[in-house]
């Protein structure tokens, strides 16, 4: 199993550009989440999904969209990038909700200039 994969590993965007961060898992997990990690702060939940076709907002959803058309994939879209979205983004999956082990992807480092 590849586990949780994320692409790209690094990305530089100009303010106003849009892009999609890809996340895929091959463990047949129902639960998937997107987090951002900023210096000095804990990971913060952006959006999450409890199954194909079901998504919900986390703590910091503004400026991001998600969809979950398949169990395997959970892409994160930045609609119009802003410097405040410079961060490291992690995707995670788990076989159940928060009392189950979480599996993290390797992260995407995004810089918005």
Partner 1 sequence: KNEVEQSPQNLTAQEGEFITINCSYSVGISALHWLQQHPGGGIVSLFMLSSGKKKHGRLIATINIQEKHSSLHITASHPRDSAVYICAVPNGGGNKLVFGAGTILRVKS
Measure the CA angle with vertex 88, ends 38 and 61; round to 5°: 75
| Candidate list 36, 78, 90, 112; residue touching partner 1; CB under 8 A | 90
Based on the shown chain and the rule CB under 8 A, indicate whether residue 43 belongs to the binding site for partner 1: yes
Closest by Cα among 56, 47, 3, 57 to 29: 3
Give yes or no for a cis peptide into 69 (omega within 30° of 0): no
| Candidate list 12, 26, 56, 80; residue touching partner 1; CB under 8 A | 56
CA distances from 2 to 52, 62, 87, 98, 102 (A): 20, 30, 24, 22, 15
Q: Find the part of the chain contacting partner 1 (CB under 8 A) among 11-19, 45-53, 64-72, 74-82.
A: 45-53
Which residue, 14 or 40, is less far from partner 1 as judged by CB?
40
Site residues (CB under 8 A) for partner 1?
31-33, 35, 40-45, 48-50, 56, 58-59, 88, 90, 92, 94, 97-104, 106-107, 109
């Amino acid at each position: 199993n590849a586990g949780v994969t994320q692409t790209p590993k690094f990305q530089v965007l100009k303010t106003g550009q849009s892009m999609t961060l890809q996340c895929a898992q091959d463990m047949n997990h129902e639960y998937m989440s997107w987090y951002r990690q900023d210096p000095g702060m804990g990971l913060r939940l952006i959006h999450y999904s409890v199954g194909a076709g079901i998504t919900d907002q986390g703590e910091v959803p503004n400026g991001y969209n998600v969809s979950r058309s398949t169990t395997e994939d959970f892409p994160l879209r930045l609609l119009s990038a802003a410097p405040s979205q410079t961060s490291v983004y992690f995707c995670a999956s788990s076989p159940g909700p928060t009392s189950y082990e979480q599996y993290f992807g390797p992260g995407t480092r995004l810089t918005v200039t």
